[in-house]
Amino acid sequence: MDGNPVDTNALAGEAAQQHESWGGFAGFVLKLALVVLIFRSFVFSPFSIPSESMLPQLWNGDYLLAAKWPYGYSRYSLPFELPLIPGRVLASQPERGDVVIFKHPVDGSDYIKRVIGLPGDSVAMVGGQVVLNGEAIAKERIADFVIPASANTTCATAAAREQDAAGIATCRYARFRETLPSGVSYEVIDFGDRPVDNTRALIVPEGRLFVMGDNRDNSQDSRFQSRPGGGVGLVPQDLLVGRATIIMWSTDGSAEWIKPWTWFTSARWSRIGDLL
């Protein structure tokens, strides 16, 4: 029978090369996954802002990177909270004014607030003003905060509903600048007289933090007892995850997956890259 002989050696060589190619690709994927895992666990990790409790600095729909190293590492630094790190290693305490991400003491969800009180501090609210260690934190009225209304931004009852020159609906809030004794300053929103504007003084215990939202009258924070989906009480430092550092993306919530162009029109481009 006529025919070309089959070169079995060549076929075997091709199979070996193909096997090596797939093996090399699989090795690359595993190495890449390991690098991403290490990066997210020990360097930076992404988080999203799902509420308006940190207005005016952080908006609902912001996506930020949190630095993982400033406060040390724990099981909460790892994906799926794997119990591979006992306690908190390389632990460091936040400074007043830091914007921290932590696990809710009861339900374990991610929360973001600003550190106001450290262990040993006395914290109270008097007439809507923070009193730290018996001294009122400086609070200065500044220009109103105006934010466009969108799917991710609804005007609270205390907001003035307006339209800008382009006819876009906006929400206007009274805005203030607070300055801590260290000189760190930040902006807050105040709705006016509310029940939590006056609270008794609390002494922050060792290993805990007193945290508050910058949107003072729209934040479930250390002024409220810990409960699922609500207040956080005095936050254990062992629940710290990281420190907010930079906004990497922001959307007004109008994007639709089936309309790719809306991924761009919904972006708040001016917010991307803002340092926190």
Mean pLDDT by 10 residues, the chain (276 residues): 54 54 72 71 86 96 95 86 83 96 95 98 96 97 96 91 90 97 96 91 97 96 94 96 96 93 94 95
Please tell me whether residues 157 and 23 are part of one structural domain: no
Same domain? 32 vs 95? no
Q: Is 113 noted as a catalytic residue in this protein?
A: yes
Q: Are residues 253 and 216 in the same domain?
A: yes
**What domain range includes position 142?**
43-271
The C-alpha angle 227, 230, 234, rounded to 5 degrees, equals 65
**Tokens read off for 15:** 């199979």
In this structure, is residue 263 part of a structural domain? yes
Same domain, 74 and 59: yes
CATH number, domain of 148, equals 2.10.109.10
For residue 101, report the phi and psi dihedrals to the nearest 5 degrees. -110, 135
> Do residues 183 and 56 both lie within one domain?
yes
The count of domains in the chain is 2
Does the pTM of the predicted model rise above 0.85? yes
DSSP letters, 32-88, are HHHHHHHHHHHTEEEEE--SSTTTTTS-TTEEEEEESSTT-B-GGGSGGG-TTS-S-
Of the listed 45, 53, 74, 222, which one is catalytic? Answer: 53
Domain shared by 23 and 135, yes or no: no
Contact between residue 46 and residue 64 where contact means Cβ atoms under 8 Å apart? yes
In a domain, 82, yes or no: yes
53 as an active site residue: the answer is: yes
Query: Residue 51: exposed, middle, or buried by beta-carbon count in 10 A (0-12, 13-18, 19+)?
Result: middle
Query: Does residue 88 sit within a domain?
Result: yes
Specify the pLDDT at position 203: 98
Q: Are residues 260 and 127 in the same domain?
A: yes
What pLDDT sits at residue 166? 86
Shared domain for 93 and 145, answered yes or no, is yes
Residue 4 forms part of a structural domain: no
Catalytic residue among 103, 113, 150, 250: 113
Residues 31 and 55 in one domain: no
Query: Quick one: pLDDT at residue 4?
Result: 56
